[in-house]
Structure 1
Amino acid sequence: MCGIAGIFDTRGTAPVDAAELAAMNRVQFHRGPDEDGVHLEPGIGLAHRRLSIIDLSSGQQPMSSADGNVCVVYNGEIYNFPELTRELQALGYQFRTRCDTEVILYAWQAWGEACVTRFRGMFAFALYDRNAGSLFLARDRFGIKPLFYSLLPDGRLLFGSELKVLKAHPALHRRIDPQAVEDYFALGYIPEPKTIYRDTHKLSPGHTLLFRRGATLPEQRQYWDIPFAPLAGAHSESDLAAELVERMREAVRIRMIAEVPLGAFLSGGVDSSAVVALMAQQQAEPVNTCAIGFDVAQYDETSYARTVAGRYHTNHAEHSVDSDDFSLLDTLAQLYDEPYADSSALPTYRVCQLARQRVTVALSGDGGDENFAGYRRYRWHMNEERLRSSLPLGMRRAVFGPLGRLYPKADWAPRVLRAKTTFQALARDSVAAYLHSVSLTSTGQRAALFSDSLRSALQGYRVDAVFDAHARRCPTEDPLSLIQYLDMKTYLVGDILTKVDRASMAHSLEVRVPLLDHPLSEWVSGLPPALKLKGQEGKYLLKKSMEAHLPQDVLYRPKMGFGVPIGGWFRGPLKQRLRESLLEGGLADSGLFNPDTLRKLVDDHQSGRREYSAPLWSLLMFQAATRDDDLGVA
């Protein structure tokens, strides 16, 4: 895996400052410690950090075409590059390497912007075409690999694999985007294409961006979307289960090609266990697996990981994380560059650290919950959806709206007893109800938290606009498929894949995600929804398909997830830091938040009167990530 960086003059051919480009590339050393490279010519500078995985002796970047007219920097893996190489050779292109980077060069020359539709894998790249005077940016279909960019007032375009790459340039504007603040405190991350800064963006998954020198605006195109098109013909459940195994087996197989040590994360859940099982069946030597445990039983899944490791005789390693392992707070803020509030980033960082001691490439089970409807919230939403569909929205608002306002809040209770949340969800339409269920804070809580100046700067904007925009583009009206689609566009890329990319790259570890193989996901999206969530059983077909490969107690047990006991930290070892960060200067003086609300959140949580772990963690991470930024909203 690698890191890319660059500067492009969209108005002319002004010289690129080599020192500025070098500084941008230097801050992403962790993404590629093996080699670096730079390409400079009038109006363009491309830089690259390399983590060597395939074709270790060649494949250095930036890489130019044989005629010298096209130059590329690239981060990712294109798994079908051998087939594309043969196809391009048949068209007359001659290859000097045996790596996938060169395929991008000649695919561009052969097929232009449509080249991205040929690529199977994870990628973010920038390609300069001297003859056309253009810069082409592209990101893979699910957004596994990141790509940030900012167009400066003087016409220079900055881009890079991480936001810190752009922050290393002295001309970047670092003014906070009020809408990003609203999104972050609702979701715990900043969804694509926004960043925390007004004038800086993420390229959305499945999109390309073409800058032509002298053109007024860039050309942005979406080249792919998850189809949710029902499979043609009649299929038995057993036939579909058998085909699913074969499709997953092939997606795993093509991701096992590497010239460096290879392994897998093994949490003991269905998804990672399925990936390990299919790896072990296609590899003669034992699979290298690693797992993270916790010293709190309710968060620990290592016994299940050991069961799978024992069944397939893997070369297994475990590391136990102390429940007071909060030493990474400042490290995480530096890794993610902008506010990011998923506390499972802590154990994810540790499992990547453990894996890198033994391997350079690791396969993961990410994407299984979104593809196969594995989240518990899907069950709750569909149970509520049956009632929503039986009563008009106006009637539900009239009945359940007042109940939702009057019923006492019971965060401490099991979900089934939290009637307030259910009443509030039933008073909304499907999209708003799902957003309510995944939000860390409610609309009312954010209104109380934000200052008058921040609310004024928002001009009525709410995070609902993000979900509504995706819902309008959803290719299906099926209610389960709709919320899967929403998660793929928001939570999967903004939270899950962001978490894994930054945590793995911090340790120069490449992570591959076979369950997000796009032909596999396209096929899975066409499965009948009832084979994904059947009754109250999520991932139904996936579990049925793996019954011959995994133990029953691994397949059919309650989902645990990567939990972290931050509530106790805020009442114990992090008590004073929380008060200092939120109440003494910093956020309290930022002008973004209501100081009275900040104090009430801290006091009520630390006294045990209420449970405010999620908003407090969000505030702490916001403060850590933005301490050097312009927090003004005027």
Structure 2
Amino acid sequence: MCGIAGIFHLDTPKPVDPARVKQMLDALAHRGPDGEGVWTAPGVGLGQNRLAIIDLATGQQPMHSADGRLTVVFNGEIYNYRELRVDMETWGAEFRTQSDTEVILHGWRRWGPACLDHFTGMFAFALFDADQQCLFMARDRLGVKPLFFTELPDGAVLFGSELKALLAHPRLRRSPDLSAVEDFLGLGYVPDDACIVAGVKKLPAGHHMTLRRNHRLPEPQRWWDIAFPADARGSAKDLEHQLTDYMRMAVRSRMVSDVPLGAFLSGGVDSSSVVALMAEASRSAVETCSIGFDQPDLDETSHARLVAERFATHHRERVVSPDDFGLIDTLVHHFDEPFADASALPMYRVCELARERVTVALSGDGADEALAGYRRHRFFVAENRARGMFGNQMSGRVFGALGRAYPKADWAPRPLRAKSTFQALAQSPEEAYARAIGFTAPEIRARLFTPEATRALGGHRAEARIEAAMRNAPATDWLGRAQYADMTVWMPGDILTKVDRMSMAVGLEAREPLLDHKLLAFEASLPQPMRLRGGQGKWLMKHAMRRYLPEDILYRPKMGFVTPISAWFRGPLAGEADRIARGAALANTGWFRPEELSRIANEHRTGRADHGRLLWQLLMLDKSLTRLFGA
């Protein structure tokens, strides 16, 4: 795991100043505290900060082929590198290191861009081929590892693991992208196809691109996609065995490490399953860690402790206060772009705790998206059944009228909060799901923006990409379409961004075995009742894990990291709410109505409404704009 950065000249191969690359690397020092390397040649410069995980002695980067033709910088891990190495040696490849990085060099020489199909892992890398005078950049299937890039006016292309690496280059012009602000307000993060800094892009998950001399900057090319064919056949018991085998192989492949390794353990189904399979494969006790809270209704440590005792792990836990808002500026620094998922706060703390003992930690991320484990999936399937009973046109008329007439009742018990359900039923499935997965509703954003900002957006909507993903999804049912949007929009934009930035902030490598692409392909082939049955998400996984885990772990309500942000803005962060109301950086942009910002802050402070999530989002946006643009 590391941070990578570099410069490539598309036109004249001008000399690259190593100090420029070094300056970009310095911004990524937290990602790789174990070493640094810079290499330059006419028209190209590559650099890497190293977090040493595999081959501590000879795995330094940038790494060159024996003949000097190829040079690569690489962030991530190739989990099947040992098997690839054996295959490569049979056709004459000679290895000089024990590193997984070296298989990228030999893979490119043999297969070119098709080498990606042979790699199992998480990665973002840039490879320079001196013979072809090209720079090949690639990102892993799911987007576990990030890669930003931009073209300067002089034809130089900058790339780096985080936005801050590009911002370290003095010739990058900084101006905010209003459409990315709309995306952030609508989704809670800036998605893979956007960036808060105008002109900067992210190489999308499952894409590659080849930069060539005397050619324009190309469009990224997709090399991998997930499909939900729901065509698996076999009894539930047979499918259980297959699922367990795929999970077992995914976990074991991610336990390869030359440094101490452990796992996050929340006590939920996913992390508990990973720990169970790690314990099965390990001769020594697994290192596990959990974060607890000093509020009983938010604390899951008793469940984590139960799993730790069951598998005799070396377990550590730390109780922290949910009032951990002192990390706000740390979050803003590490995310660069505004990021509204408040679970980043406890995520940082659990990474911090893990790093005290281990350098690599396995997480349980991915199962909810792959196997329909979120409550929104259950609601979506139920809503679609209702739509099927009435038909689309009748649903729009009947439920649209009910949605307009029914009072908003956030204070009421959940069964009585029908307004949002009626509104969802009045929409198409993709419109309803885009709203369900969103953060701030379109009508609220419409009130926030000034008329000038609305005109400048030109009809751009944050939800449009989710709707398009669902319409174009390679899936045979609506649940698969929703899950496809989860995997291609939500997962890289929110979940994986959070895990990458918070783990890298403390020099920890996080691995997600439940995002193994072979495991995902199998799960996506399962018929809908094997994913979601009787209102129970992850149905087959829970059945498969009964031999490992007790029922009160498998079937307890899902919690996740919770932070009391609404209470913060009526207490210790009330001053921040007032600052937002008075304007701060947000008002200086000219994008937001000052009277609307003031209304939101005042209603929340006086208890007339709960705008806690929106205030948190506005605070993150305000601080990010100030840091990036001095707004």
Alignment of 1:349-368 (within 5 A): 349-368=348-367
Partner of 1:18: 18
Partner of 1:520: 519
Alignment of 1:376-455 (within 5 A): 376-455=375-454
CA contact 1:231–1:523 (8 Å) conserved in 2:
no
Q: 1 CA distance for matches of 2:487 and 2:203?
A: 15
SS in 1 for 2:561: coil
CA contact 1:124–1:146 (8 Å) conserved in 2:
yes
Q: 2 CA distance for matches of 1:417 and 1:58?
A: 63
In the alignment, structure 1 residue 132 sits paired with structure 2 residue 127: no
CA contact 1:592–1:631 (8 Å) conserved in 2:
no
Q: 2 CA distance for matches of 1:91 and 1:404?
A: 66
Please give the TM-score of this superposition, normalised by the length of structure 1: 0.98
Percent of residue pairs bearing the same amino acid type: 52
CA contact 2:227–2:484 (8 Å) conserved in 1:
no
Alignment of 1:25-174 (within 5 A): 25-174=25-174
Q: 2 CA distance for matches of 1:98 and 1:427?
A: 58
SS in 2 for 1:390: helix
Q: 2 CA distance for matches of 1:98 and 1:200?
A: 35
One-letter identity of the residue aligned with 1:506: A
Q: 1 CA distance for matches of 2:393 and 2:272?
A: 46
Q: Show CA shifts across 1:280-339 (max 9, x none).
A: 011111100000111122211111000000101110000111021110001100010010
In the alignment, structure 1 residue 593 sits paired with structure 2 residue 604: no
CA contact 2:580–2:598 (8 Å) conserved in 1:
no
Partner of 2:316: 317
Q: CA deviation at 1:584?
A: 4.1
SS in 2 for 1:561: coil
Partner of 1:511: 510
Q: Show CA shifts across 1:85-143 (max 9, x none).
A: 12221222211001111100110010001111110010000011111111111000000
Partner of 1:8: 8
Q: Structure 1 regions of 5+ residues with no counterpart?
A: none
CA contact 2:293–2:321 (8 Å) conserved in 1:
yes
Q: 1 CA distance for matches of 2:532 and 2:547?
A: 20
CA contact 1:267–1:301 (8 Å) conserved in 2:
yes
Partner of 2:539: 540
SS in 2 for 1:483: helix
Q: 2 CA distance for matches of 1:183 and 1:545?
A: 38
Q: 1 CA distance for matches of 2:405 and 2:596?
A: 21
Q: CA deviation at 1:582?
A: 4.4
Q: 2 CA distance for matches of 1:238 and 1:494?
A: 35
Q: CA deviation at 1:580?
A: 1.6
SS in 1 for 2:390: coil
Q: 1 CA distance for matches of 2:461 and 2:622?
A: 21
Q: 1 CA distance for matches of 2:362 and 2:566?
A: 31
Please give the TM-score of this superposition, normalised by the length of structure 2: 0.98
Partner of 2:617: 618
One-letter identity of the residue aligned with 1:307: L
Q: Mark the CA change 1:271 to 1:353 in structure 2 (over 3 Å): closer, same or farther.
A: same
SS in 1 for 2:169: coil
Q: Structure 2 regions of 5+ residues with no counterpart?
A: none
Q: CA deviation at 1:230?
A: 3.5
Partner of 2:340: 341
Q: 2 CA distance for matches of 1:333 and 1:394?
A: 45
One-letter identity of the residue aligned with 1:424: Q
Q: CA deviation at 1:407?
A: 2.3
CA contact 1:590–1:631 (8 Å) conserved in 2:
no
Partner of 2:272: 273
CA contact 2:4–2:73 (8 Å) conserved in 1:
yes
Q: 1 CA distance for matches of 2:38 and 2:629?
A: 31
Q: 1 CA distance for matches of 2:293 and 2:245?
A: 34
Q: CA deviation at 1:587?
A: 1.5
Q: 2 CA distance for matches of 1:514 and 1:110?
A: 28
CA contact 1:265–1:289 (8 Å) conserved in 2:
yes
Partner of 2:470: 471
Q: CA deviation at 1:411?
A: 2.4
Partner of 1:285: 284
One-letter identity of the residue aligned with 1:446: R
Q: 1 CA distance for matches of 2:528 and 2:587?
A: 47
SS in 1 for 2:117: helix
CA contact 1:582–1:588 (8 Å) conserved in 2:
no
One-letter identity of the residue aligned with 2:437: V
Q: CA deviation at 1:387?
A: 0.8
Q: CA deviation at 1:231?
A: 4.1
Partner of 1:184: 184
One-letter identity of the residue aligned with 1:603: N
One-letter identity of the residue aligned with 1:95: F
Q: Mark the CA change 1:523 to 1:571 in structure 2 (over 3 Å): closer, same or farther.
A: same
Partner of 1:228: 228
Q: CA deviation at 1:170?
A: 1.2
Q: CA deviation at 1:620?
A: 0.3
Partner of 2:215: 215
Partner of 2:562: 563
Q: Show CA shifts across 1:469-489 (max 9, x none).
A: 312331013011111111111
One-letter identity of the residue aligned with 1:91: W
CA contact 1:149–1:158 (8 Å) conserved in 2:
yes
CA contact 1:227–1:475 (8 Å) conserved in 2:
yes
Q: CA deviation at 1:198?
A: 2.0
Q: 2 CA distance for matches of 1:361 and 1:629?
A: 31
Q: Show CA shifts across 1:407-452 (max 9, x none).
A: 2222233433221111110111011000111222111100001112
Q: 2 CA distance for matches of 1:423 and 1:537?
A: 23
One-letter identity of the residue aligned with 2:23: A
SS in 2 for 1:158: strand
CA contact 2:38–2:46 (8 Å) conserved in 1:
yes
Q: 2 CA distance for matches of 1:573 and 1:77?
A: 42
In the alignment, structure 1 residue 480 sits paired with structure 2 residue 479: yes
- Taking only aligned residues, the RMSD between alpha carbons, in angstroms, comes to 1.3
CA contact 1:3–1:160 (8 Å) conserved in 2:
yes
One-letter identity of the residue aligned with 1:39: W
Q: Give the length in aligned residue pairs.
A: 631
Q: 1 CA distance for matches of 2:34 and 2:586?
A: 40
SS in 1 for 2:444: helix
Partner of 1:297: 296
